[in-house]
Amino acid sequence: MRPYPGKSLSYEQDVYNYRHSRARRVVENAFGILSERWRVFHTKIAVKPDTVKKIVMATTVLHNMLQRQGYTGTELRETFDSQLEPACALQPLQRMGIRGDNEALDIRDRFSKYFTMNSLPWQQNYVRRGLIHP
């Protein structure tokens, strides 16, 4: 999903963009941590989307298990790097239009309404006045 474009946005749209941005940062940080440990995330993964979900879940569980046991990741990387085969690239995807389809736009609108109705205590000040979250 994409944030709402432009500068003259409604309050609901500003709230959605803010919450979208925060969620995206969390996901990008988590992916960065996983890709530091697991080489499979360094290239395109040549498997079906359901299998990608399983790979992400498995590497997350393994990461958490290794963290609890005190491994940093470098010990394992040195052991297994020589045994790994290069990953195959996915076939190119068909280009999509610039605008999302109507269903995606409708879902984004529903999220913006939900986020406004279920606002965070400091959200209104942050969104409308451009304040930095504490």
Q: CA–CA separation, 105 vs 111, rounded Å?
A: 10
4 and 16 Cβ atoms separated by less than 8 Å: yes
Query: Letter for the amino acid at 6?
Result: G
Per-residue pLDDT of 42-101, as tens digits, reads 888 888 989 999 999 999 998 888 888 887 655 555 555 555 544 444 455 566 666 668
Q: What is the DSSP letter of 122?
A: T
Counting residues of the chain whose pLDDT is more than 90, the rounded percentage is 14
